[in-house]
Chains A and B, each alone.
Chain A
């Protein structure tokens, strides 16, 4: 049974009559990973992982471009597999880009988040609509999460969560992309009858 499943997975990854999914998922996964890691650009993911969803849409668009007339048309199962693969690649790419940026430029992303949070807390304190204890608790929670995120455990936790969340959202994006770009079904036109 296990062998049967792995055989099936290998088969759907390399269908002979369809374009290769690995190349597209690597490209789009790397793009999503970069968007996830680059400070400023990563704010797009603040709205329900919009960057990851758009990455899934892009993956389907690029994959559709690789189809030729001779191939079987793209199916929704292709979009699902492509989305999951793209999300998986994106999780690893995000970790690699994050570590690279951290090594090259220091904690730029962290500083940016800190400054955004500081201005938010200032606004909350000025508005007076939040009790001071709640704001203090928020500050300490934030500092705790920031200090944890730069440890090995924090990085591995990030990777683990991204490996669950990214494939789900990228699959959602790929399905939206499939609904937008799906090939129109060919209408069978009746063959002209030969004259007798």
Chain B
């Protein structure tokens, strides 16, 4: 397996783990694990999300680790990452910037309308706009990331060679 594939698999596992922990936070509580487990996870996720209960999806009677919008972003990011190699997205070329703008605009509009009080966002709009944003992001993040790791490894090899010969 070449470096890019290895880094891709590692990144995929890391993102899957992150998404899994979002579900583990309520699941551990429901399964009757010590409350410290869910408490630690909820505290950790509170650093990346407001976790307001009325804006969060529930697993049984317990809220997920993050709100509906963030859930949409992270899970569609993961789904998109899985599909990326089949769509040729692991190549260095990233899609046009306009696609990023189109994908992020609904979320920005939804947030703006909600804050301004013109139209309050619903669970559906939060989830959908999150899914749209998260689904596009891997196409802009992953190819340069894989390329960066490749560059750093080449540079590290050069650096060590120069040190040994010099």
Q: Which A residues are closer than 8 A to B by beta carbons?
A: 4, 7-8, 11-12, 43, 45-49, 75-77, 79-80, 120, 123-124, 127, 130-131, 134, 138, 141, 145, 157-158, 161-162, 165, 169, 172, 175-176, 178-180, 182
Q: Closest residue of chain A to B95, judged by CB? A: A179
Chain A residues with CB under 8 Å of B70's CB are 47-48
Give me 23 A-to-B residue pairs in the complex whose CB atoms sit less than 8 angstroms apart, sorted by A's number: A4-B163, A8-B155, A8-B159, A12-B155, A45-B48, A48-B49, A49-B48, A76-B147, A77-B147, A77-B151, A77-B152, A79-B144, A80-B149, A127-B54, A141-B42, A161-B43, A175-B145, A179-B140, A179-B144, A180-B97, A180-B100, A180-B140, A182-B144
Roughly how many angstroms separate A16 CA and B17 CA in the complex, as a whole number? 38
Contacting pair B46 A145 (CB below 8 A): yes
| Interface majority SS (helix, strand, loop, mixed), chain A | helix
Chain A residues with CB under 8 Å of B148's CB are 75-77, 79-80, 175
Min C-beta distance of A47 to chain B, whole Å: 6
| Interface majority SS (helix, strand, loop, mixed), chain B | helix
Roughly how many angstroms separate A8 CA and B73 CA in the complex, as a whole number? 35
Chain A residues with CB under 8 Å of B48's CB are 45, 48-49, 165, 169
Min C-beta distance of B61 to chain A, whole Å: 7
Min C-beta distance of A77 to chain B, whole Å: 4
Q: Closest residue of chain A to B94, judged by CB? A: A179
Chain B residues with a Cβ closer than 8 Å to the other chain, count:
38
Chain A residues with CB under 8 Å of B119's CB are none
Chain B residues with CB under 8 Å of A141's CB are 39, 42
Chain A residues with CB under 8 Å of B144's CB are 76, 79, 175, 178-179, 182
Chain B 39-75 per-residue mask, 1 if CB under 8 angstroms from chain A, else 0: 1001110111110111000000100000001100110
Min C-beta distance of A135 to chain B, whole Å: 9
* Given known contacts A138-B53, A165-B48, A7 and B159 CB-to-CB distance under 8 angstroms: yes
Chain A residues with CB under 8 Å of B74's CB are 48
Chain B 132-166 per-residue mask, 1 if CB under 8 angstroms from chain A, else 0: 00000100110111011101100110011001000
Contacting pair A76 B140 (CB below 8 A): no
Min C-beta distance of A8 to chain B, whole Å: 5
Roughly how many angstroms separate A77 CA and B150 CA in the complex, as a whole number? 8
Contacting pair A12 B152 (CB below 8 A): yes
Chain B residues with CB under 8 Å of A75's CB are 147-148, 151
Contacting pair B141 A175 (CB below 8 A): yes
Q: Closest residue of chain A to B39, judged by CB? A: A141
Roughly how many angstroms separate A138 CA and B58 CA in the complex, as a whole number? 14
Contact residue among A45, A80, A157, A176 (Cβ-Cβ distance under 8 Å from B152): A80
For A76, A124, A145, A172, which residue has the most chain B Cβ atoms within 10 angstroms?
A76
Min C-beta distance of A63 to chain B, whole Å: 14
